[in-house]
Amino acid sequence: MMVGVCRVALRLPENQSLKGKRQVIRSLIARVQQQFGAAIAEVEAQDRWQVAVLGAAYVSASAQHARQVIEHVVEYIEASRLDAEVTEVEIDVLSM
């Protein structure tokens, strides 16, 4: 079993409150889950309203497929939210 994981740091420069941040993050999480079937959650900086850090994971029998799906998740995050700037990305594939 192979697990593709990523950590994506986002900057939300236009955001003015935690409520606004939650709205952006919830929408993004729901769309990623629906589109890719990946597990995704906000994992750091929950109390900072202009920064979000998301963690995503995808389980597959193939390391190549797991990495490919996680890379597509990152590309989707970069392309789908014009109000969120991706500042850092870490991708890894783990063998379990």
Exposed e or buried b for every residue in 59-70, given b needs 16+ CB within 10 A? bbeeeeebbebb
Look at residue 95 in the predicted model and tell me its pLDDT.
85
Its pTM stands at: 0.85
Each residue's pLDDT tens digit, 34-91: 999 999 999 998 788 889 999 999 999 999 999 999 999 999 998 887 777 889 999 9
pLDDT value of position 4? 94
User: What pLDDT does residue 40 have?
Assistant: 95
Polymer length of the chain = 96
Domains of the chain: 2-95 (3.30.70.1120)
Centroid of chain to Cα 32 = 8
Q: What is the pLDDT of residue 14?
A: 83
Q: Which pair of structure tokens corresponds to residue 83?
A: 């109000």
